[in-house]
Structure 1
């Protein structure tokens, strides 16, 4: 056990050693992006600059992966004065909800959003309230042209270092305007995304009952931010909850324990082992982040996160269950499945994650001297059937059920009598269920 503990902490030390340089690289690269966006705002005041950079640097420092990062460009518009015309989703799990962004006929102060470059007149005269829509495809086209002009200006006035910015992908038609920025030896890809900030549409506080590990006043503040809108297609907008989820991640960083350490370790393993050094498609940092948020809700006590190996396995058992059932619920909208339509071979991803959970030592190697004899597998081959139980019975999505999984992987170390009794009760229930099935 001492060797295993040492191995986990060696790996964590290697991950942590990269955090400060990554944060510095991010801030230098973001400075260049902000310089561009400041010029964009000067050219067209309808596009604002978001200076809330602490969250971006904080999140980037936790990652080993080099997936693109979103930089949101808020639109200067009173979102509460607009008409949100939601489209009915074909299926409940489809998401997020799509909508049109309508401009009321009698609304004042929206004249700048009725210009032809971003607006489409409503052809349905029977719609008495709405005179037309703000079209995301047109907004993107305007923003792309402004970015090109801003790049030329900033290069000419030496506001960005020569050769540090690659804007070749701006020529592509896409919903995110991509920029590749060099910072030191690292290249960081930013996706520039127009966003409509709004207070309405915030999730109800009913979902806070699912998040007992978070202070309620903090949850109220984060949820009060609302749910923003970003382009979903050239004609439709969709809801986006990236900001509150990152805020929730920040809350975890203020709590005692190894919550964020477990995320950093799994992101490094995901990037290097499960995705072959980032060369293969697979889980994203956002998938792992959501698994951590659920794990923090299901395991709310400080003792659950006091030991590093156990903290990692708390995220792992949630992730394995989600992959086995092909359903990773959104923390704010549990009916929204984040694995639906992700385009991944979930069976192959599951096999890699389960292989790590059985024998993590090989993936934790920093160099050859850190790997001793191969440990025996932590669990037998029947674990996948156990992991699939929440798909047929959602009542299994409880702490006691996941405690059973922790016990199967030999990392259940809780002494609380009530937790142990609840875990044993679920374990007996699953044994009886498997006897019936056989």
Structure 2
């Protein structure tokens, strides 16, 4: 609409200087992070000892605290099975029932000859017989078996008064989904946990296209994050490779570095929820998108000098985010051939204008408010040109040749697609 937007009621955070304004905004985000972590830990105290076995990770709590939205917590729990004893085969039309086409990048996990030590999964959970007499571990049947086990544990916990009224809701278990969803009370807040069964296999380190070993990351972190392949249900009949945990491991490695790397992610994610959300029914930028932007920023701007202050660090993420929005192409960090914008119903032009409005006038947005978002319309121009020319990037004294060439590297890494 060409009509001006009504002003938004706001809660202002006082600031004396530009730098303090950035850090005041971040300070509110970080203070809320502690409360979110407490909610998660209270819910986890109900979930873990009663329902999960061999669970000893803190990555989910780490992500939940970073994210500004109230999205479900994805909890990938490994099956007690020797994944290295399975054979991974691309799903073929004959591997699925008639009328069901296997998706791209889906796999069958073939069970080898009898006698292989696979615990009791192949006897307790039925396998799909194939023409040559071998069988495959079927995701739908694994999920059904785990669901039955989960329901029986819930009933037993209730019978023994190990659950208080309101602690847990299992109503989402009735849905035909590729995860087991439980609503767990965490203090006064209810948190949704999507429990996903995972088959883990050792793998040779991936050779990432165009990426130098550990460039911008702590030494060994890329290799450690990708030393295992994780297969999760893609459909009732096929599995897919998951990068959820490897990406979280990389973020955790970034947290070990000096500099406001994750603070930049925190700040942009708060803006995503507060000012960049689309109208109901439309796809929006996600926390997962911003995670990828940060990881690309780490590789394209590897020098510690690029991450000395919060404002400069945020602008490095903005340069890449705006370029990806302009070209409509955000490569997955571990699988650059995959465009994360391709399958999303996103209004990338609208998102571009919103992000650019912040880049041009950040002080206008570095405040918490309720009500309608600030108006973000701007004059029309070629987005790809504006992404490169209208950011005050030169004020950060980029002098050495490696960092001066970062933008040309970015243009070659992120495929040129006309907006």
TM-score band, normalised by shorter chain: 0.7 to 0.9
Larger mean Cα displacement after TM superposition, 241-250 or 354-363: 354-363
Return the alpha-carbon distance in structure 2 between the equivalents of residues 221 and 247 of structure 1: 8
Shift of 1:421: 9.2
Shift of 1:423: 5.7
Partner of 1:436: none
Contact residue 88 and residue 97 of structure 1 kept, 8 A: no
Match of 1:63 among 49, 64, 67: 67
Shift of 1:417: 3.1
TM-score in terms of structure 1 length: 0.79
Partner of 1:336: 338
Return the alpha-carbon distance in structure 1 between the equivalents of residues 406 and 204 of structure 2: 41
Partner of 2:252: 250
Deviation track 1:158-199 (CA, whole Å, cap 9, x = no partner) reads 333321212111111111221111211222111010100111
Deviation track 1:393-425 (CA, whole Å, cap 9, x = no partner) reads xxxxxxxxxxx93x6311333435334994699
Shift of 1:73: 2.0
Return the alpha-carbon distance in structure 2 between the equivalents of residues 50 and 133 of structure 1: 26
Shift of 1:345: 3.0
CA pair 183-422 structure 1, distance change in 2 beyond 3 A: closer
Partner of 1:363: 365
Return the alpha-carbon distance in structure 2 between the equivalents of residues 212 and 88 of structure 1: 38
Shift of 1:253: 0.9
* 1:252-291 superposed matches below 5 A: 252-275=254-277, 281-291=283-293
Deviation track 1:256-277 (CA, whole Å, cap 9, x = no partner) reads 1111001111111111211279
Partner of 2:216: 213
Contact residue 252 and residue 259 of structure 1 kept, 8 A: yes
Shift of 1:37: 2.0
Q: Report the RMSD for the aligned CA atoms in angstroms.
A: 3.3
The runs of 5 or more residues in structure 1 that have no matched partner are 39-47, 369-373, 388-403, 430-438
Contact residue 77 and residue 110 of structure 1 kept, 8 A: yes
Deviation track 1:114-162 (CA, whole Å, cap 9, x = no partner) reads 337341111x23xxxx611111011111111221122222222233332
Match of 1:50 among 47, 51, 55: 55
Return the alpha-carbon distance in structure 1 between the equivalents of residues 282 and 274 of structure 2: 10
Shift of 1:319: 1.4
Q: State the secondary structure of the residue aligned to 1:267.
A: helix
The runs of 5 or more residues in structure 2 that have no matched partner are 1-14, 94-101, 412-419
Contact residue 96 and residue 239 of structure 1 kept, 8 A: no
Deviation track 1:58-93 (CA, whole Å, cap 9, x = no partner) reads 22111111111111221111111111002489xxxx
Deviation track 1:228-252 (CA, whole Å, cap 9, x = no partner) reads 0000111110001111111110111
TM-score in terms of structure 2 length: 0.82
Q: State the secondary structure of the residue aligned to 1:174.
A: coil
CA pair 361-204 structure 1, distance change in 2 beyond 3 A: same
Return the alpha-carbon distance in structure 1 between the equivalents of residues 268 and 237 of structure 2: 37
Partner of 1:150: 153
* 1:33-432 superposed matches below 5 A: 33-38=47-52, 48-52=53-57, 54-87=58-91, 97-106=105-114, 108-110=116-118, 112-115=120-123, 117-122=125-130, 124-125=131-132, 131-200=134-203, 202-204=205-207, 208-209=211-212, 211-224=214-227, 226-275=228-277, 281-366=283-368, 382=381, 384-386=383-385, 405=388, 408-419=390-401, 422=404
Q: State the secondary structure of the residue aligned to 1:71.
A: strand
| 1:27 maps onto 2:41 in alignment | yes
CA pair 415-343 structure 1, distance change in 2 beyond 3 A: closer
Q: State the secondary structure of the residue aligned to 1:255.
A: coil
CA pair 205-290 structure 1, distance change in 2 beyond 3 A: closer
Return the alpha-carbon distance in structure 1 between the equivalents of residues 263 and 70 of structure 2: 18
